[in-house]
Amino acid sequence: MPFVDSTDLPTTERLPGWKAHVFQTENMTFAYYEIAADAVPLHEHHHPQEEVWNVIEGNLAVTVDGEEQVAGSGCAAVVPPDTPHSARALGPVRAIVVDFPIRDD
């Protein structure tokens, strides 16, 4: 799978307002999100994977280990493994979220 067109992938909606096209490589999970302005906030949680949130468009308030920062276009938030984190859209957002190693959920 050397090339993936995310627009050809099925759309999933894990939470109301969080629409994504998801695929996995041998080692990573990629989620291309379109987050609605009125999307339900992503609750605080943690998992064993490292996770990187790359904001493409809009503003996303990301909280990592109790510290909140607004990530705008071109910014990334790096979440270490097993670290509590959450996110909420501050208007419409497009972001790519990458997990290493892959997530089975």
CB distance 9 to 22 below 8 Å: yes
User: What was the pLDDT predicted at 31?
Assistant: 98
**93 falls within a domain:** yes
**4 falls within a domain:** no
**105 falls within a domain:** no
Mean of all residue pLDDT scores within the chain:
97
Three-state SS sequence of 30-72: EEEEEECCCCCCEEEECCCCEEEEEEEECCEEEEECCEEEEEC
Note down the domain range covering 75: 9-100
**2 falls within a domain:** no
pLDDT tens per residue, range 37-49: 999 999 999 999 9
User: What was the pLDDT predicted at 4?
Assistant: 96
Domain of 32: which CATH number?
Answer: 2.60.120.10
**78 falls within a domain:** yes
Count of the separate structural domains present in the chain = 1
